[in-house]
Each structure stands twice: as C-alpha cells, then as structure tokens.
Amino acid sequence: MLSSGLLIASLKSNVLMSEEMQNVHIKSKIEGVMLTVPSKQEILGYMKQTMENEHLGLYLDPDLIAQLNVEHFELTKAGQIQFSHADGTHDDELWALALAVYATRTPDTSWMSEGAGVPHNW
C-alpha cells in the first residue's frame, strides 16, 4: 500500500481519484498536484534549494543531466517563472525527479494539533 506521495492528474481525474480513494477507504498522505505555472515554480524551486543545500545526490544519467541543462525558463509579465523545453527534447525525467524531491518536503502542520487529525509522528 502506498502510504505517501504525490498524485499528478488533470482537474477532472484528480477529483475522480480523490472520490475513488474515499470510496475504498484509502487513508494515506497522498497529495494531488496540479502542474500549473505557480506550482511548477514551487516544485523546481524546492528541488533547486535541495540541490544547493547538498541534500540531493544524482546518478550521472546522461538523459537526466541533459534535461536538467536544457530546461528553459522565462519570467512572465505576471512575475511568474514559466518553464519549457526546446522542440525535439523532453523533460519527463526532470519532472519525475523534481516531483520525487518535492514529495520529501515536510508539510507545515504547525497550525494544527494532534487532535485535529495530525498523526503524532509528523
């Protein structure tokens, strides 16, 4: 059984998956993630911070390293960072790594008490 992680889905399938998980009484720390411009900025920002803090070791996989190096970013008029990759390339492994790293963060539950449903081991 999967006890924690990220669920990436479209809005429609995210709602359906959430309902299905409730129907079969799955209790886990699964978090849905919609890949939007702001969420991508947060996810890659967290991975960058993790790398800068030397808390991420990478196997020198040529495809992954290439994807890390060719990802483009652009500051939008709204002040957000939009990510893309060149035609003929892909960034699947980059996002797989970024989401895996993002799933390791510790959620901020400081505003909640154990009685509010926060497990004592968080």
Do 51 and 17 reside in the same domain of the chain? Answer: no
Largest CA-CA distance found in the chain, in angstroms, rounded: 52
Distances, alpha carbon 113 to alpha carbons 106, 107, 108, in Å: 16, 13, 12
Do 7 and 55 reside in the same domain of the chain? Answer: no
- C-alpha–C-alpha distance, residues 85 and 75, integer Å: 15
Sequence-distant (6+) residues with CB within 8 A of 90 are 67
Residue 88 φ/ψ region, left for φ over 0, alpha for ψ in the -120 to 50 degree band, beta for the rest: left
Tens digit of pLDDT for each residue in 61-118? 999 999 999 999 899 899 988 888 889 888 999 999 999 999 888 766 565 555 545 4
41: in domain: yes
Tens digit of pLDDT for each residue in 25-35? 555 566 677 88
Distances, alpha carbon 34 to alpha carbons 10, 12, 31, 50, in Å: 7, 11, 10, 21
Where in the sequence is the domain holding 10, given as residue range(s)? 1-34
CATH of the domain at 64: 3.30.420.240
Do 29 and 57 reside in the same domain of the chain? Answer: no
pLDDT of residue 27: 57
Do 30 and 55 reside in the same domain of the chain? Answer: no
Q: Under a CB-based contact definition with an 8 Å cutoff, are residues 98 and 88 in contact?
A: no
Counted domains in the chain:
2
